[in-house]
């Protein structure tokens, strides 16, 4: 009996290490092999305070955790943004430093460590045997599980997963890598220190061998075995590894002298089997927020959507409030060209009326090659009346450019003399341009012209060699992407860069600013505020997904979406940032023609909501719908600017680019 409690207590101690490591390894995607070293930090701190200062279990452990937190943050700082392989080296170095200090400094007791640590005592009662101490450890273990769960499965954890999936994309949304990565390292290290303290109190001794590199690697195995990104998996992993000892010794009757050898063989074999048959671990990460009953509803929902009727309120995961929003016209409106008011200034109808299928639409657009580069079909109204071919500049009927932007409009972004060289290639060769506030600006030109590079320069993703980028009167050249995003300029990526193992909804939710759930202390200090805001954030994200036609896929992993669908989610994600200036890099490439229209409608409406848009596009039909100021870029330079009609009227552009 005592033996069973002994094993359970060991499992709890190891699960403490494994769960906390999972926050770093599974949630944030950073491989740390120093978890046992942080255990040593906590264990030795507690042992020294207990033996030399007579401090009680609770205080000695808490102080150990604080030391663990501080060291964890310090270790993480050099690792910021340098990739997971560097983090392995860094934590390896830390583990070596800790183990050599402990083994060699006299004060730490050398190889035998610090002995005679008094047993755990609470309220004057000492817990001496495994049976006695089990309830204490159980409570601590449950607290750790609850804490890690709250942290990992919150808005904070969502950002951690974002960093894991795509760090630059996370920064592009205004989120700072430093804050999240450093804090999660600190938290995981503090809990590791707690595990170390439990270990030391349990065995009444702090010795270097208990916190060796091997031990750290065992914790990594526990996490991988159980399932990265799943805390219950870490407990299962800890149990399997811990119980392998009695299984081998008592059941398989392995000679105790060979036990550790066979143990290593078993761990190795388990890992190989796992990689082959269950790469995500025994209990894989819980990736979709959609329970089974929702999936059934979801398929119904899809059928409704495809029949062109509005989404029913009860089919929504978050309750009926999105449809309320739709009914009140708060949802970003979509295009309705069913009537005769094409291109007038009348209020654009709310999403519901479009989804309600008031008929018409630019149905002709969906045909022909309109979504492809340069190809342009003939546009048709709902009544089936064909617009003239856009390629014919003499034709008048297609004009969407009814509200030519005032040329003197104030610039939100002013770029002067911008230069970017990649070795011998000058990708951007002295660009001057202005993006007018509350308007849509398009950047067009052949592939390789430097358009995407320009967006990268504007938003701090790559340093410019020369020139200046002034956003709202402030020089932003040299600032970080997240700082620039917070100043109000956010980009999307030509290659989409969604978080593949997050759902569409989570992708959009990450981008919404002002989330108390992204602060660990608020998760515990202000749970009500966190819950309320989380609901709002979810609603907002659902609205945005609806506005780009991706509501049905809200709970689908983005990695499972088609390219065009991903592009649509990416637009919703950028919109969610609340940035004033949105830079969209080929937002409709690969998108179904019917949604190209809706995206155009959403973007066209943005200036009325106080937003400014700059879009890189090849799809001329789409550009026509945007009524944009166009810059034509070629070989790293702005060659000319004007309305699309004006550019298309230029003979050599027409020949070279517009494909006449
Ligand atoms: P566009 O978006 O207009 O198609 P890009 O901005 O992607 O063009 O590329 C412009 C030029 O810069 C191309 O010649 C491309 O090969 C080069 N380029 C872009 N990014 C890099 C990079 N990271 N390293 C080297 N060359 C690059
Ligand atoms: Mg590009």
Q: Does residue 263's CB lie within 6 angstroms of at least one atom of ligand 1?
A: no
The boundaries of the domain holding residue 55 are 2-211
Q: Does residue 449's CB lie within 6 angstroms of at least one atom of ligand 1?
A: yes
Q: Whose CA is nearest to atom 18 of ligand 1?
A: 427
Q: Does residue 450's CB lie within 6 angstroms of at least one atom of ligand 1?
A: yes
For residue 450, which atom of ligand 1 is closest to its CA?
A: 6
Report strand pairing: 581-585 vs 489-491. Answer: parallel
Q: Does residue 495's CB lie within 6 angstroms of at least one atom of ligand 1?
A: no
DSSP character string of 70-82: HHHHHHHGGGTTS
pLDDT score recorded for residue 266:
86
Q: Does residue 427's CB lie within 6 angstroms of at least one atom of ligand 1?
A: yes
Would the CA dihedral through 343, 349, 352, 358 be positive or negative?
negative
> 448 C-alpha vs ligand 1 centroid, how far in Å?
6
Q: Does residue 659's CB lie within 6 angstroms of at least one atom of ligand 1?
A: no
pLDDT score recorded for residue 309:
30
Q: Whose CA is nearest to atom 12 of ligand 1?
A: 427
Share of the chain above pLDDT 70, in %: 81
- CA 437, CA 318: separation in Å to the nearest integer? 35
Q: Does residue 452's CB lie within 6 angstroms of at least one atom of ligand 1?
A: yes
> 580 C-alpha vs ligand 2 centroid, how far in Å?
22
Q: Does residue 463's CB lie within 6 angstroms of at least one atom of ligand 1?
A: no
For residue 456, which atom of ligand 1 is closest to its CA?
A: 6
For residue 616, which atom of ligand 1 is closest to its CA?
A: 2
Q: Does residue 447's CB lie within 6 angstroms of at least one atom of ligand 1?
A: yes
Q: Does residue 448's CB lie within 6 angstroms of at least one atom of ligand 1?
A: yes
- CA 21, CA 238: separation in Å to the nearest integer? 12
- CA 141, CA 199: separation in Å to the nearest integer? 13
293 domain-assigned: no
Give bridge partners of residue 429 from the DSSP assignment: 419
Helix or strand holding residue 615 (H, E): strand 612-616
Would the CA dihedral through 408, 410, 413, 418 be positive or negative?
positive
Q: Whose CA is nearest to atom 22 of ligand 1?
A: 422
- pLDDT tens, residue by residue, 374-399: 333 322 333 333 323 333 333 333 33
CA distances from 339 to 36, 365, 425 (A): 69, 16, 50
For residue 420, which atom of ligand 1 is closest to its CA?
A: 12
Would the CA dihedral through 584, 586, 590, 595 be positive or negative?
positive
pLDDT score recorded for residue 634:
93
174 domain-assigned: yes
19 domain-assigned: yes
Split into its structural domains, the chain has a count of 1
pLDDT score recorded for residue 288:
58
For residue 454, which atom of ligand 1 is closest to its CA?
A: 6
> 585 C-alpha vs ligand 1 centroid, how far in Å?
13
178 domain-assigned: yes
pTM, two decimal places = 0.82
Q: Whose CA is nearest to atom 19 of ligand 1?
A: 453
- What's the token pair of residue 194? 């707690």
pLDDT score recorded for residue 362:
32
Q: Does residue 638's CB lie within 6 angstroms of at least one atom of ligand 1?
A: no
125 domain-assigned: yes
> 66 C-alpha vs ligand 1 centroid, how far in Å?
47
Give bridge partners of residue 637 from the DSSP assignment: 634
Burial annotation 210-221 (CB, 10 A radius, 16+ → b, else e): bbbbebbebbbb
25 domain-assigned: yes
Q: For 192-250, list the strands marked E by DSSP.
A: 205-206
Q: Does residue 10's CB lie within 6 angstroms of at least one atom of ligand 1?
A: no
- CA 418, CA 582: separation in Å to the nearest integer? 19
pLDDT score recorded for residue 408:
56
State which residues of the chain have pLDDT below 50.
290-402, 404-405, 407
> 314 C-alpha vs ligand 2 centroid, how far in Å?
41
Q: In which residue are the tokens 């739709």 written?
A: 326
Q: Whose CA is nearest to atom 10 of ligand 1?
A: 450
> 494 C-alpha vs ligand 1 centroid, how far in Å?
12
pLDDT score recorded for residue 293:
46
120 domain-assigned: yes
pLDDT score recorded for residue 101:
93
Q: Does residue 451's CB lie within 6 angstroms of at least one atom of ligand 1?
A: yes
Q: Whose CA is nearest to atom 20 of ligand 1?
A: 453
- CA 26, CA 24: separation in Å to the nearest integer? 6
556 domain-assigned: no
């Amino acid at each position: 009996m005592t033996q069973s409690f002994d094993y359970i207590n060991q499992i709890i101690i190891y699960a403490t290490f494994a769960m906390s490591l999972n926050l770093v390894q599974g949630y944030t995607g950073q491989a740390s092999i120093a978890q046992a070293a942080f255990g040593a930090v906590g264990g030795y701190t507690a042992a020294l305070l207990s033996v030399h200062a007579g401090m009680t279990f609770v205080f000695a452990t808490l102080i150990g955790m604080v030391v663990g937190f501080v060291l964890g943050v310090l270790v993480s700082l050099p690792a910021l943004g340098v990739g997971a392989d560097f983090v392995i080296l860094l934590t390896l170095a830390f583990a070596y430093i800790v183990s050599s200090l402990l083994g060699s400094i006299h004060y730490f007791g050398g190889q035998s460590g610090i002995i005679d640590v008094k047993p755990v005592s609470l309220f004057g009662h000492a817990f001496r045997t495994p049976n006695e101490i089990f309830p204490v450890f159980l409570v601590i273990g449950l607290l750790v599980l609850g804490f890690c769960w709250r942290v990992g499965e919150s808005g904070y954890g969502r950002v951690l997963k974002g960093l894991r999936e795509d760090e630059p994309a996370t920064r592009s949304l205004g989120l700072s890598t430093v804050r999240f990565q450093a804090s999660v390292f600190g938290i995981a290290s503090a809990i590791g220190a707690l595990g170390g303290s439990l270990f030391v109190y349990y065995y009444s001794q702090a010795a270097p061998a208990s916190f060796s590199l091997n031990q750290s690697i065992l914790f990594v195995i526990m996490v991988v075995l159980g399932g990265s990104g799943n805390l219950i998996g870490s407990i299962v992993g800890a149990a399997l590894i811990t119980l392998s000892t009695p299984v081998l010794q008592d059941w398989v009757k392995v000679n105790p002298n060979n036990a550790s050898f066979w143990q290593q063989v078993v761990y190795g074999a388990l890992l190989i089997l796992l990689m082959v048959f269950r790469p995500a671990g025994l209990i894989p990460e819980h990736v979709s927020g959609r329970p089974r009953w929702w999936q059934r509803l979801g398929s119904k929902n899809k059928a409704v959507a495809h029949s062109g009727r509005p989404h029913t309120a009860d089919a929504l995961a978050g309750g009926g409030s999105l449809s309320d929003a739709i009914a009140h016209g708060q949802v970003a409106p979509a295009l309705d060209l069913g009537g005769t008011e094409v291109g007038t200034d009348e209020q654009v109808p709310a999403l519901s009326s479009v989804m309600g299928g008031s008929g018409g639409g630019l149905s002709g657009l969906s045909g022909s090659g309109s979504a492809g580069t340069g190809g342009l079909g003939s546009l048709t109204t709902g009544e089936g009346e064909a617009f003239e071919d856009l390629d014919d500049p003499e034709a008048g009927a297609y004009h969407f450019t009814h509200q030519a932007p005032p040329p003197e409009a104030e610039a939100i972004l002013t770029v002067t003399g911008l230069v970017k060289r990649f070795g011998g290639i000058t990708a951007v060769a002295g660009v001057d341009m202005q993006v007018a506030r509350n308007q849509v600006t398009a950047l067009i030109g052949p592939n390789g012209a430097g358009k995407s590079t320009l967006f990268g320069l504007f938003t701090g993703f790559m340093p410019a060699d020369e020139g200046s980028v002034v956003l709202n009167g402030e020089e932003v050249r040299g600032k970080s992407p997240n700082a620039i995003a917070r100043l109000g300029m956010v980009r999307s990526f030509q290659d989409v860069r969604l978080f593949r193992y997050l759902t569409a909804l989570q992708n959009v939710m990450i981008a919404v600013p002002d989330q108390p759930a992204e602060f660990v202390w608020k998760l515990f200090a202000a749970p009500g505020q966190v819950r309320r805001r989380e609901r709002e954030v979810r609603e907002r994200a659902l609205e945005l997904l609806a506005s780009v036609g991706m509501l049905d896929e809200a709970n689908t992993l983005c990695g499972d979406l088609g390219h065009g669908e991903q592009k649509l989610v990416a637009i919703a994600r950028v919109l969610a940032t609340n940035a004033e200036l949105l830079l969209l890099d080929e937002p409709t490439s690969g998108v179904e023609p019917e949604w190209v229209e809706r995206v155009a409608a959403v973007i066209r409406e943005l200036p009325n909501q106080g937003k400014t848009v700059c879009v890189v596009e090849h799809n001329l039909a789409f550009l026509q719908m945007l009524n944009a100021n166009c810059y034509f870029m070629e070989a790293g330079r702005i060659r000319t600017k004007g309305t699309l009609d004006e550019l298309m009227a230029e003979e050599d552009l027409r020949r070279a680019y517009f494909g006449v």
